[in-house]
Amino acid sequence: MSKVICGLSVSVDGYITGRDPGPGRGLGDGGALFDWYGSGEVQSRVFDGFRLTEPSARVFDELASRVGATLAGHTTYTDSNDFAGGAPHPTAPLVVLSHSAFPPENERQTIVSTGIVDAVAAAKRAAGGKDVGLMGGVLVTEALAAGLVDEVILHQVPILLGAGRRFFHELPGHIRLRILEVVSAPDVTHLHFEVER
């Protein structure tokens, strides 16, 4: 059965970007959050060009191979320069949740402007039975608040960024997580949780 998962690189102090992110600036000064994508000797089976440490390659490729569609918020989309007209995943289509409708860059993108429930439903259809991967702090928080997230994966990088965009925003109440796996790598710790219902 298809699951909705969120997996993002995050600093120890909870940021998913550094200072001054935006179009043409990407993550601002937070690029260190993704250094682990190229810090090893193991070629990713899913993403060309990613060379990971052995523990990270195992975790990353297992999760990336589950994703059938990606759902991103509009801020993540624009900060990533519209993913150059494509999608962040090499094989999975992209659904973008936006407050206003706009034309997609190509056939791999779908724009949804009618709320998080509709966006998750569209991403599930696009995923073809595989999982939906969520991107963006506000979007993930909205999906958690709506009870739509099955798993949370934090790739926690040992850095204190001090500022930027936070991963989690205010939630209406507590959300309990059950630890599924913790994998330590030389430059990142992979924390895999299931959302308790």
Cβ atoms 27, 33 nearer than 8 A? yes
What pLDDT is attached to residue 79? Answer: 84
Average pLDDT estimate for 127-151: 96
- What is each CA distance from 40 to 11, 20, 37, 48, 52, in whole angstroms? 20, 28, 8, 14, 4
What pLDDT is attached to residue 16? Answer: 95
> Does 85 have pLDDT greater than 90?
no
pLDDT band at 67 (very low <50, low <70, confident <90, very high): very high
What pLDDT is attached to residue 80? Answer: 84
Average pLDDT estimate for 96-101: 92
Angle at 93 between CA 34 and CA 164, to 5 degrees: 35
How many helices (H) does the chain have, and how many strands (E)?
4, 10
- State what percent of residues in the chain have pLDDT above 70: 100
What pLDDT is attached to residue 124? Answer: 97
User: For residue range 6-23, what is the model confidence (pLDDT) as tens digits?
Assistant: 999 999 999 999 999 988
- What is each CA distance from 131 to 1, 41, 93, 148, in whole angstroms? 8, 28, 12, 12
